[in-house]
Structure 1
Amino acid sequence: MMLIMMQTTMILTLLTMMMSMMIAISKKKLMDTQKASPFECGFNPMSNKRLPLSIHFFMIAIIFLIFDIEIIIIIPTVTTMKYTMIKYWAIASFTFIMILIMGLYYEWYNGLINWAN
Structure 2
Amino acid sequence: MNQATLMITICMLIPTVVLVAAWVLAARSTEDREKSTPFECGFDPKNTARIPFSLRFFLLAIIFIVFDIEIVLLMPIPTMYMSSYIPQIMVTYIVFIIVLIMGLIHEWNEGSLDWSA
* Number of residues of Structure 1 aligned to a counterpart in Structure 2: 111
The 1:56–1:83 alpha-carbon spacing in structure 2 relative to 1, beyond 3 Å, is same
1:106 & 1:83 partners in 2: Cα distance?
A: 34
Give ranges in structure 1 of 5+ residues lacking alignment. 1-30, 39-43
Match of 2:73 in 1: 73
Task: Give the distance between the partners of 2:39 and 2:78, measured in 1 at CA.
Answer: 41
TM-score by length of structure 1 reads: 0.56
Separation of aligned partners in 2, 1:92 and 1:65: 22
Give the unaligned 5+ runs of structure 2.
1-34
Taking the aligned partners of 1:102 and 1:88, their CA distance within structure 2 comes to 21
TM-score, with structure 2 as normaliser = 0.56
Offset from partner CA, 1:36-73 (integer Å, 9 cap, x none): 258xxxxx878864x24332122101111111101110
Change (3 A) 1:87 1:52: same
Corresponding position: 1:54 with 2:54? yes
| Paired residues for 1:1-117 under 5 Å | 35-37=40-42, 49=50, 51-117=51-117
RMSD: 4.2
Q: What is the distance in 2 between the residues matched to 1:83 and 1:65?
A: 29
Instruction: Give the superposition deviation at 1:87.
Output: 1.7
Give the structure with higher Rg (CA). 2
